[in-house]
Amino acid sequence: MASIAKTVVATGASSGLGFELVKQLLAQTQPYKFIIGARDTKTTQAAFDGLKYDSSKHSLFIFPLELSNLKTVQTFSQQTLEKVGQGKIDYLLLNAAIAKNANEPGPNGSKWSEAYHVNHLSQHYLTHLLREKLEESRSRIVVVSSGAVRGVEDPSLLEGDVKSASKTERSAYSATKFIQLLGAHWWRRQLKGKCDVVAVSPGLIPGTGLPRSTKAQLPVNHPDAKTVPEGAQSILRAFTRDDFPEDPEQIFLTSWGEWWPKDVYKLTLDKNLQDKWCPSKDEIEKEEGVNA
């Protein structure tokens, strides 16, 4: 009897780690149905076509998604739900990220920086839009995080660090990934008993396009550096691990396959802080001027 295809909805899968992760899943005997959001659908489609995967087993759909524009997030969610139909979303992979400072005006007049939109707000909004289907499907939500969350020492400075045209010298990447982890904790609480939420670090991966918006370059010869295939394997572990710690707040899977002790990311465990940085669907639409 043929296996039932598992459905993966993904952001950040048009290149780098996300592309490699899909490539590895396409090589498995388990059938998959991928629904991928991408800025450049034509180039992304050509890249996946070049893999020569077994299209009789797997299916792959690419829809436009620009995470600096919440209206495209709305459209992508609608197209996703139409394509899923009566089926399930087995996995929601939130992998998109940019390493970009916050010294430019916000997208579409927003008071928030592009990095904040891409790394947190838009993917948080997408989860809101898919929430009913995620709960119905008892999905697993995989949030690709980073050890950079440890770069935030004073959460009271976050707002200034992620606003548009910010003059901060602190890292907007660390700040937005910290807020993203606050969001993972928030969704874990919201979806308790319905969906699993796992945050995972792929490790230090010099071979991705993450730093393309900055002058920074990751050191290839760093002793902790991993290859893109190794980083993708780290993320894939978050798809399959079921040995969850007894403490529900221990949701962070390291690149070496261990559950990170909570004291490493203790500042993200503040529930009031989680609530502050996780606006409702209606609040997002009102503040960002998006019509539902």
What residues are annotated to the active site?
A: 173, 177
User: Taking Cα atoms as reference points, which of 186, 124, 119, 113 lies closest to residue 148?
Assistant: 119
Q: How far apart are alpha carbons 69 and 128 in whole angstroms?
A: 16
**C-alpha pair distances (Å), 277 with each of 84, 223, 243:** 29, 35, 29
Structure-derived torsion over alpha carbons of residues 80, 85, 88, 93, reported in degrees to the nearest 10: 0
**Residue 78: C-alpha distances to residues 35, 72, 114 (Å):** 12, 10, 23
Q: H-type helices in 85-201, by residue range?
A: 114-116, 122-137, 158-162, 172-190
Please state, in angstroms and rounded to a whole number, the distance separating the CA atoms of residues 244 and 186.
17
